[in-house]
Each structure stands twice: as structure tokens, then as C-alpha cells.
A = this chain, B = another copy of it.
Amino acid sequence: MSIRRPLSGPIGFNAQHSPMGAFMSFTCGNPGTKGGIGLQIGQPADQEVFIGLIDGDRYADATLKCLPFYVGAASNAAEAFMVEQAGPSEANVRPDAEPFAENEIKRSYGWATDSWEAGDLTFTVFSPFGPIPDPSKSSDRDMRDALRPAVVAQLIIDNTKGTKPKTGIFALNHSRPGPRMITDDLGGSARVGFAFRREAGVAAEVVDITGNGASDKPHAFGFMRWSATDGIREKFNPVHLLGSCPGIGFEVPAGKRYAMTLAIGSYLEAPVTTGLSGKYLYTRYYTDLTDVLRSTLDAAAKVIEKSDALDAKLEAATLSDDQKFLIAHATHSYYGSTQLLEIDKQPFWVVNEGEYCMMNTLDLSVDHVFWELDHNPWVVKNLLDNFVSHYSYTDKVKVYKDAGVSVHSFDHDPSQPPPPPDAAQLSRAYETAPGGISFCHDMGAHNNFAPKGRSSYELANLTSTFSYMTVEQLCNWTLTAACYLAKTRDTSWLKKNKKIVEEVLESFVNRGGEVGFAQFDSDKTAGGQEITTYDSLDHSLAQTRNNVYMAVKCWASYRALNLLFRDLGDKKAAQKAQELAEKVAGFVADQAVDGVLPAIFEKDNPGYNSRILPAVEGCVYPYYFAKTGYAGIKPEEVYASAAEKRMYDALKLHTEKLLLDPEKRSVFADGGIKLSSTSNNSWMSKISIFLDVTRRVFGLNANPAVAEVIKKADAAHVTWQAVGSAYWACCDQIVSGEGKASRYYPRIITSALWID
């Protein structure tokens, strides 16, 4: 049974309600804006969502009260047909619905549910998730269940205390032309549905849940006019095939409580991607939209049960309400970006990058890996293989002929990202030295796969946004591979990739110079420099070279390589990797000044005076290798060597000092975590990893002062999402509390690390 508890904080925010792998969201929640069913887009869709009730039968002269998920202006599509026509015909169109006020609404937000109560109405969306089975090993029935491109919703109208009928409705007013009523059999005459062309639709049936025995025969009715009210009330022609606003309604007699179950689904049958031609894997298991909707209604009870079980699981976790909220919100948006394709008859897993729709951005993938491995490790293998076969490249590194730091003009505001490269930077002389393998930032964007060996994002001759992330992505593939091994012990996969792993180590070595990590830029950057995933942050996290974040991540990568070579039986390489890990760790430890680490280890660099919390991010991986038993040691033994112990102590002290900084340079005014002391950009997904390391690796939560900082931060982070990014659902990149970029984003799923 449901354990739903109303939110005590803000309730007016959008949530994505998504099946797995269908790149589909049913989005609603933010008052006064459009949403509804969106396919293959990085933002809320373009329908007005009417969910409401009339205190009377469908024709009653009573207001349609609705949840506030619509712009509110009456549709004027009818006017297009009625030129030079004054008042009379307009008289037919009643004013649109009246929204429930925010204080009349209670909202509960669970891991797999989202529920609103207002007046005698309860509307809940169910979007359960779970393992996607490996298609090569699973029955069609199991795949159908897992890949059903639909969510379930339920509209309950309680008229047990009423003395006359009430009427419930669900309608979507479309901006684009093409809605229609479904005339195919949805599994019995009591079911009613509507669709948008061939691609998306809603089907419904109504049941009596009064629980007092004798049931009449509840039934749903369809309508489609140019507004919800016009449709529901129209006596003669409730369905006009030219209408923009299809919907489904039902009347509830006095004394009754009815539930309308809704299947909200999609079906795209044709290949949808270019470059690599892919169609949705669900097309293997479903014949068309009607099949999707029919089977979703058939399975609705199971879907609801599964959702409630997931809600209960999160509720049972030893986390604060704020933390649970963030995890639930992250999970909702995560699945909205997922896209399981079939390419060359093989499954091909894609997570789209939120509003940007870049495909399998590798610096997101590495963050998603913990979640994926908990649910469906085969998609991680799929991803690793696809990067190797399609999106890897070999470069050289640049060895500048002048001094070791860039000649960038450093006289600008350090809180701003680096300026575009100037002529001096572009013409700076360098020689090349061997580089090695690395991986592309992404596989393409907006369903267009990039050409082989190329990302949609990376460009030459830049020093910040859109430059190459060669070392960062080398770390990311390595860490993803090691996590995959840690979880699955799939050494047969590892052995097939022996050569790649060897190339990876060589590539790290070639890039690491004297100190062992990220000393050179890829020649792919031409006159530019490599950047990190924090692409629009300031100097503290922009450049790769001599960056503390990169250093610790490289250290983690060497720990990862040590384990991979161990399993490959290559003791020498394993040993070398461990030596490099210790070398880098020692180097990092040596950089500490007054208990904190500079962001950039270059004294002339403006980033030298920045303090960044993501310094510790890399620690999450060796912890995972230990925790999963893969490393064969306890988590604290990760730091057994002298150098690594020194780095551990330095990072821990760094973290503690920053969190407790009396000047509060690492928190925002609202208490939220500020990743860099010199930038107002913060990424919620990265904060989540940082907090996990802080609590679990360093145990800093034991310090009540730190715990208090984190508690305040959690609360601020909820406000960032539910208020600062209310329209954009889950948002990653926050500027001073407002969701400014990386919106509608999957990566905050890193918050799920907090659960176990």
C-alpha cells in the first residue's frame, strides 16, 4: 500500500514521469505552464494538462476545477474557421477551467509516484523503474514489462459524501495539430483513448472503488473539442475531429468513489537516429501504440504495486526528507533521458544529456554508473563497448616550447570563465609527443550520432566550453570499466578488452609527465587547452592540467587500472599503476597550503587561489572497488600506502576546512554547496558525489558542525530544485540558487549514492 506523505515544502514544480529507455516524459506540476507527453525533447512538452472535476454531471452548470497545469487562456483554434464573426458563436465557448489554488492542493512525491490531492480529487502518476533485463538473455514477456513505453496514472474522484454526481476529467490541449480519438480496440468497450497521430496517446478505464459492495457499471467517455470545458460539456458533438483538446471523463454517482486508470504512452516505429541508424528496442516487443496502451492498462495494478513498493523502499532509507526528495526528483528526471535503441540488431543504450540531448556524454555516464550497475550492468558494458568501437580516438600531446603554464592573460575576473584563446595562445609553439587512446565527450546530439571518433561537443582552439576533455574522458572510461568489473566480475569482457586497457595505461603515462597526471593538452585542442566536465566554471575547474580535481581522479583511475591488470594477470602493469597512484597521491598531498589544496597547482594561475570541493570526487571510486569487494580490501585500506594516507588526510582536512570556513566561501548565502570558492556555478550531481565522499569516505558527518552545514545545504538544494528550477524539473547547473543550465537533467541520479 501507498505510504504517501504530503510535501511540507514547495509543491509547484514540474516532475518528469517516464518509462525506461523510451526517451519520453509525461511532465506536469509547475503551475501555469505547458507540459504533457514529450518525446525525444530536452524540455517539457507543449500541451496544456487538464486534470479536474465538476461538481455535477458533465453538463452541469458548475465550474471545472483543475490542477493548475495549463496556461489558462482559452484556446482560440476555433476562430481560425470563423472569420469575421462577432459574438454569437463565441457564446458557445464557456470560460476555461478554474485552477485549484496552491493552498488547496497537497502533493506527495515518491521515488516512483507523484500525487496531488485537491478537493475530492486525487491524481497520481506511477513511474516504476527497475532492472532492464539483458535482451539477449530474457523472454519477450520480461522485455515487454521492462520496456513498456508508458506510465500509469490514476484519477480518483471521491463522491462518497455527495448528493449529486461529480465528474472527473483528464485532457490534453495540444499546441500542434494532430490529436485524434483512438478507434482501435483497447481491450474492451469500457476503455476509451485518444492519441497524437501515431506517436503518443492516453487510454483509460474506470472502476468503482467505493468498497461498499454493489457496483454499477462505471464507464469513461471521450471528447475532443477546442478546450477541455467545451469538450466535456458538449451535448451533441463531444468529439470534433478537428479539435485540439482530446480528453476522457467519467461521472461518479453520489455515494461512490471511482478511479480512472490512465495509460500514458508512446510509440515511435521508424528509425529515429542518424549516423548510426537506430530504432527503439521496444518496437521488437510492441506492435503499435494501441498495443502499448492496451497492455499498460492490463498491467496497471502491477505497475501501481511496484511503484508503491519503490516509494516504501526510499521512505525506509535512513535519510532526511530533503535527501529523499532529491533522490526521488533525480530518479524521475533520469529515466526521462534514457533511450534504449536497436542498432544493427543489437541493443544500444543511450542516456541523453537533459536539455542538450547529447547522447551518452561520457562525463555523465561515469556518474550514472553506480545507478546503472545497481540495476542493469549490461547497459554499462554496452556503453563501454560502443565507446571503444565508435567513439574512441588516438591523439598526440602538445609539449609547449615555452614555460609550463599557459600564457593566457590572467588579468580578468577569476569568477568568470577563461576568455577565448588570444592570438598568443593560438600561436604558442609546441612540439608533439606520443599521446594515446582516449574517448569522445559524447556520441552525438539530438538523435544524430556523430561521425566515428568524434563528439558533438568538442572543438579545437578553445580554452573553455566546447574544448576537448581528453584526460577527463580517459579517466571516465577507465573508472566506468573498473566499476563494471567491480560489480559484475565479468573478466571475460575484460580479457576481450585487454589491449584497450593496456592502451589506456600507456595513454595516462604519456599525458602524466613527471608528476604522473594531466600535464599536457591533447593536440586535438590545437591552439586551445583541455577542459574538465565543469566546462562553464572558472579557472578553478576549467583547465585539466595541474588541476586537483583531475589529479585525484587520475589517482582513482590508476587504482582502477591496478585492479584491471590484476585480473588480466599482468602483475607488472598492475604494479606500475599502483606506483603511479601513489606518486600522484603524494604529489597532491604536497600541494596543501594551510590545510587546503589549491584548485590549480600553478602559482601564476588564477585558479591557484580557488578552493574547490570536487577535489575529493575521485575518492568515490576506490571506495566503490572496496565496498563491492572487488579490491579485496576494506574501504579504509584504500589509503594504506603512505602517500595515499597523506592525500587522504589532506583531502579530508581540505573538505572540513572549506565546509567550516568562517568566511563561508564554499557555501552560498542560502546554505547550498558552492563547488568553487570563486564561482557561482554549482552542479547538483557533483555536490551529491562530494557529499557522499564527505560522509562516507571521510566520515565528516560525525563532526556536528559539518553535519549542520550539510543539513542546511540539503534544504537549500531542495529549494534550488523545487523553486529555482520549478519549470525545468530536475536541474543540475545552478547559479546562485537558480536552475540556469543543464536542466531537465539525468545526472543528479548520483544522489542515489546516499541510499546504501
A residues adjacent to B (C-beta < 8 A) = 42, 80-86, 88-89, 91-92, 177-178, 180, 183, 195, 197-198, 236-237, 240-242, 269-275, 355-358, 412, 416-417, 419-420, 444-448, 450-451, 454-457, 459-462, 464-466, 526-527, 535-536, 679-681, 733, 735, 740-741
Contacts and interface: CB of A to CB of B under 8 A. Distances in A.
Q: Most chain-B Cβ atoms within 10 A of its Cβ — which of A83, A91, A733?
A: A83
Given A274-B195, A446-B197, A465-B82, A183 B451 contact: yes
A83 B465 CA distance: 10
B451 A741 contact: no
28 contacts: A80-B355, A80-B356, A83-B536, A83-B681, A83-B740, A83-B741, A84-B416, A84-B681, A84-B735, A85-B536, A88-B416, A89-B419, A92-B420, A178-B446, A183-B275, A195-B274, A197-B272, A197-B448, A198-B274, A236-B459, A236-B460, A236-B461, A237-B462, A240-B459, A241-B444, A241-B445, A241-B454, A242-B356
A663 to B, nearest CB: 21
- Copy tally for this chain in the complex stands at 2
Q: Most chain-B Cβ atoms within 10 A of its Cβ — which of A195, A419, A461?
A: A419
Contact of A536 (B84, B445, B447): B84
Given A84-B740, A197-B274, A416-B85, A466 B735 contact: no
A177 B43 CA distance: 12
A357 B177 contact: yes
A741 B82 CA distance: 8
The A interface is mostly helix, strand or loop, or mixed, namely loop
Q: Most chain-B Cβ atoms within 10 A of its Cβ — which of A85, A178, A241, A681?
A: A241
Contact of A457 (B197, B242, B459, B740): B242
Contact of A240 (B183, B240, B466, B527): B466
A279 B82 CA distance: 32
Contacts of A178: 446-448
Nearest to A464: B89
B412 A88 contact: yes
Given A80-B355, A82-B465, A178-B448, A456 B241 contact: yes
Nearest to A235: B461
A83 B733 contact: yes
Nearest to A734: B83
B177 A446 contact: yes
A86 B275 contact: no
B445 A81 contact: no
Given A83-B735, A84-B680, A88-B419, 13 more contacts: A81-B741, A88-B416, A88-B420, A89-B417, A89-B464, A177-B445, A180-B448, A183-B451, A198-B271, A198-B273, A198-B274, A241-B457, A242-B466
Contacts of A412: 88
Contacts of A451: 183
A536 B82 contact: yes
A681 B83 CA distance: 8
Contacts of A240: 456, 459, 466
A595 to B, nearest CB: 29
Nearest to A461: B236
A743 B739 CA distance: 41
